[in-house]
Structure 1
Amino acid sequence: QRVSGFNSIFAVSSVDAAKLYYAEFQRQMTENPQKRLKVAVIYSYGANEEETDGILDEENPEDTSALDQSSRDFLDAAIRDYNGIFHTNYSTDGDKFQNYYKDVSLRMKNKELDLLIVVNMFLTGFDATTLNTLWVDKNLKMHGLIQAYSRTNRILNSIKVFGNIVCFRNLQKRTDDAISLFGDKEAGGIVLMRGYKDYYFGYEDADGKYHPGYQDMIEELTTKFPLEEERITGEQRQKEFIVLFGAILRMRNLLTSFDEFAGSEILSERDFQDYLGRYQDLRDEWKNRKPGGEKEDITDDIVFEIELIKQVEINIDYILLLVQKYHDSHCDDKEVLITIRKAVDASPELRSKKALIETFIAGINDVSDVMLEWRTFVAEEKERQLVAIIQEENLKDDETRRFMESAFRDGSVKTTGTDIDRLMPPISRFGGGNRAAKKQTIIDKLKGFFDRFFGIG
């Protein structure tokens, strides 16, 4: 499984500290090459050694002339590391350093860098929605503290609903003072998250209103919607399940920021996948519902937390490892088949590939290398299905193949513009041909083909 992540900034007290931390990261990654991160460092002058007042000075991204030779040499070496990763050509010289600064900024925003070590740079004015953690080993206070903390508070989606501040110094008093000065003195609960126990066990706010915790939610889920019940029937019960399970997904997302949550999920991984599968079954069912029928159209006031489901992605490599395990049991271990089915049903990315995976599993009795056989199977099936679409819709062969090659390269099927029209057979634009309906059928088939084969093989 792969957990979707974000990136972070490490704010340190001085240039010497930045050099020490960067060197330590490089040392540890050399010793543990399987745990490599893309780490960069940037600073522009050495005048602000260990700051005592916690007020942020502005660093000039255009000037490294005030750096002592040792600090400049170190930064040049670190930039050479960066050049090696991204195939660039920057240094501490004039325009090249300005361009390094701009490139680092862009790669932070695009989540191409995992960690950026800074002294003062990027702590004021830099906004990136992918940045979710600020590590702090420096004194901060007042507006400097608020500005630095605010680097992490740009909401991105339902996964990133808050930022993380990890302090290696005791800044609690300074944090409280800054919040009191620059906001409502009672705003601490709005600015800062509550403690782990409040979210896990529930809490009562200042107005006496009780907010259920994760434990309460799971108890309600397993009581009202037990897994022994094969299907959730009735529109109202379905709606209640979707609302409750969406709240659980949001709460789990919040609780994962606390170390204490590991091992306290209550639901086993298999049971959680079962509930995920039911949640997505209902989403698929409701997506196909048409408004205005006898049933109340309730999709507008229901939010399916698909981004939160995608946060932990069950990829095809994980499924193939399970298939290998099933094959090694001489295809007798039916529990592995159940695990595969539940994992596929729980994954938004793999549900569209379910038929493909099941067809492959049904034919693996006599294979010697599951991974090699999978690649061969996918290539043959991909060709067979594309030929079928071309023939069924009388599409132009070369143009269709080029179109799909571009889609797999770009990561999506382009449905705007005239690209689809170039694939289509001649149809009268003036009545009788129903060109629009024909085009939509082709788009639907090509998108279905893309969803089945993208990201596998």
Structure 2
Amino acid sequence: MLIFQIYITTIQKLERFIKSNKGHTIFNGHVVIIFDECHRSQFGEMHAAITRAFKNYHLFGFTGTPIFAVNASSSGKPNLKTTVQAFGEKLHTYTIVDAIADRNVLPFKVDYVSTMREAENIEDKKISDIDRERALLAPERIANIVQYILEHFDQKTKRNVFYKLQDRRLAGFNSIFAVSSIEAAKKYYTEFKKQMANLPSDKQLKIALIYSFGVNEEEIDGVIDENSEDTSGLDQNSRDFLESAIADYNKMFGTMYDTSSDKFQNYYKDVSERVKNREIDILLVVNMFLTGFDATTLNTLWVDKNLRYHGLLQAYSRTNRILNSVKTFGNIVCFRNLEQATNEAIALFGDKEASGIVLLRTYSDYYNGYKDGDKEVRGYKDLVEELLAKYPIGEPIKGEQAKKDFIKLYGAILRLRNILSAFDEFKGNEILTERDTQDYHSIYIDLYNEFRKTAEGEKEVINDDLVFEMELIKQVEINIDYILELIKKYHKDHIKNKEILVDINKAIDATVGLRNKKDLILQFIDSLDAHSVVDEAWQKYIETKRREELEEIIKQENLNSDETYKFMQNAFRNGYITTTGTDLAKVLPPISRFSPTGERSKKRESVLNKLTQFFERFFTISNKEI
């Protein structure tokens, strides 16, 4: 009987295995070796060592950015410079254009931001590399870029968006900041700490720094191979700085990493996981994480380094993994003029006409409309004008067809608004006022509830021909803090200004996440007297109501009280309800598992449903301790 074995490893570990296991029987066996991301680490001694050691092998390589003659390194072996030389003729081509057209990845929106025009466009060959680098690392320029990132971070990463990821409720996305050198990384990290020192806690960003020793000094693509396992090649100053940054990280996350070989490997892995879980806001890198790293929560790449060809497209592609309907493109913010390099890379790995698919259109196209061949594509302005004309606020929408037409029209507006919100020019040109938006949101949510026939989903198909953009509705949700501020105004005015009460009701009705709390909020307003302190009264009120409602569920379902409180305590601490494991079983009353009518399963489903509704009602408006 034939026995097949599969090994998963890195090319560095495979090279070490070859060096330390000469004469191993595997070298004479029939072996199939598959390299992912084969545009890197395949054109030096490691590849040669592998092909010398194995006697009977087939090599396969996968890459979205192959090495052609035009983007090949000028150094190294002349017979090992391109992907074809390393692996032979290509078997199949599936480009980024195909992937975007098939909706397997997202297109890019690229912004070119100038903070010091002279520095970003230094191309004069007479200027020495030292002078060019000095200009690019000028303290004023570094400070301007950090200020820009801090001011635009919420907008670019959509921090007003709420969505679920593995049962966790998250606000917005996260980002990578790629810089030109270790020296630049140190300066930027220092400047971020300086500018964030006096910011309020809700504006503080979690920033992590990582770099290591790069073994290859040439960077035709702008990305040097960095060895994630090795910091020994760093100069003492760079290693000490990294040690300090890792100490900041340890303090932030309660970890114990440093730059020693074993612990640095684990630091690398931990950073990777925390980026994927959106626990890190900005990951500051030189070359690491710019190729082969996938995190669906990443939507923005800030760039202050020269990138070309495969290095550019690989770096950009960290942002375009599909997550949900709110993330519709990868955001690229360039602090150097990479427009020509971007167009060249897209032409090389797609085709000369690919930029129309790979890159987002202009602000004007989305706002005013554009022509796509013979097809007229309507813009945001035209759609909003139709909305205001056909569906004036305050007038009921009569008839099923009119309601369906409103749903389709407002859904199209939501999709365009989601894209336009990433453009700086959109601010002040929204046409709809905040109250208008709340009113239309409220109508949209009412119709969603009216038409809904299936379980909740990101995009829910209703009656076969309707799609509700509920993720896009949720992205402009108002939180309880905003409502409490309105209540304070109402209370301060001695409960006379009924217009504020109208604002409160409109805000709640326009927010999916607050509708199930409306009765709590209105009852709280009624409970206030002249001596009430709103914040204190709210906390006492909501804790009392939470306890009362949980006790009622325990009584109705005959649950184990201690285990129920323990179960919900864990849910409020973790941010989600656990549906697997034995914790829920301990909550349930004693019922035979072998009941012929499935009583235990029915009870489990009923209890889980009630506890989930309870959690969703109180999680965002109360503290974590029950």
TM-score by length of 1: 0.91
2:448 matched to which residue of 1? 283
How many residues are aligned here?
448
- Residue 219 of structure 1 aligns with an amino acid whose one-letter code is E
- 2:499 is matched with 335
Give the 3-state SS of the residue equivalent to 2:428 in structure 1. coil
Rate the CA distance shift 1:437–1:45 in 2: closer, same or farther, 3 A.
Answer: closer
Cα gap change, 1:218/1:332 in structure 2, threshold over 3 Å: closer, same or farther? same
Any conservation in 1 of the 2:571–2:577 contact (CA below 8 Å)? yes
Specify the alignment match of 1:294 in structure 2: none
- Aligned pair in 2 of structure 1 residues 342, 48: CA closer, same or farther (>3 Å)? farther
Choose the corresponding residue for 1:165, options 319, 322, 332: 332
Comparing 110-119 with 192-201, which one deviates more in the overlay?
110-119
Q: Distance in 2 between matches of 1:448 and 1:46?
A: 52
415-424 or 274-283: bigger deviation = 415-424
Maintained 8 Å contact 2:591/2:600: no
SS in 2 for 1:372: helix
User: Which has the greater radius of gyration?
Assistant: 2
C-alpha distance in 2 between matches for 1:416 and 1:282? 34
Give the drift of 1:412.
Answer: 3.7
RMSD across aligned positions (CA): 2.6
1:218–1:248 contact (8 Å) kept in structure 2 = yes
Structure 1 residues 391 and 20, CA gap change in structure 2 (3 angstroms): closer
Q: Identity of aligned pairs, percent? A: 59
The residue type equivalent to 2:439 in the other structure is: D
Select which of 599, 603, 611 maps to 1:446.
611
Encode CA deviations 1:384-416: one digit per residue, 9 max, x unaligned.
Answer: 223333333444433433333333334344456
Are 1:218 and 2:404 counterparts?
Answer: no
Moved more, 446-455 or 104-113: 446-455
Greater alpha carbon shift after TM alignment, 231-240 vs 342-351: 231-240
Residues 359, 133 of structure 1: alpha-carbon distance in 2 compared, 3 angstrom cutoff: same
1:136 paired residue number: 303
Point out the more displaced range, 280-289 or 340-349: 280-289
Tell me how far apart the structure 2 counterparts of residues 390 and 149 of structure 1 sit (CA, whole Å). Answer: 52
**Cα offset for 1:30?**
1.7
Q: Is residue 484 of structure 2 the alignment partner of residue 320 of structure 1?
A: yes
* Cα offsets for 1:119-166 (capped at 9, x unmatched): 111111111111111111111111111111111111211111101111
Match of 1:74 among 234, 241, 244: 241
Q: Secondary structure of the equivalent of 2:303?
A: strand
- Structure 1: any 5+ residue segments left out of the alignment? 291-296
Q: What does residue 368 of structure 1 align with?
A: 532
For structure 2, the residue ranges without an aligned partner over 5 or more in a row are 1-153, 161-170, 456-460
1:392 matched to 2:559? The reply is no
What is the aligned partner in structure 1 of residue 374 from structure 2? Answer: 208
Q: C-alpha separation between the residues in 2 aligned to 1:69 and 1:417?
A: 49
Confirm or deny: 8 A CA contact 2:295 2:318 kept in the other structure.
yes
**What are the equivalent positions in structure 2 for 1:10-409 lying under 5 Å apart?**
10-34=177-201, 35-45=203-213, 53-205=220-372, 207-229=373-395, 231-287=396-452, 298-409=462-573
Tell me which moved more, 364-373 or 150-159.
364-373
In structure 2, the CA distance between the partners of 1:43 and 1:219, relative to structure 1 (3 Å rule), is same
CA distance in 2, matches of 1:437, 1:94: 53
Distance 1:431 1:73, change over 3 A: closer
State TM-score, norm by structure 2: 0.67
Say which is worse superposed, 159-168 or 408-417, in terms of deviation. 408-417
CA distance, structure 2, for counterparts of residue 428 and residue 174 of structure 1:
65
- Residue by residue, what CA displacement relative to the aligned partner does 1:284-342 show, whole Å, maximum 9, x if unpaired? 2222589xxxxxx9444422222222223311111111111110010001111111111
Find the aligned partners of 1:422 and 1:29 in 2 and give their Cα distance: 45
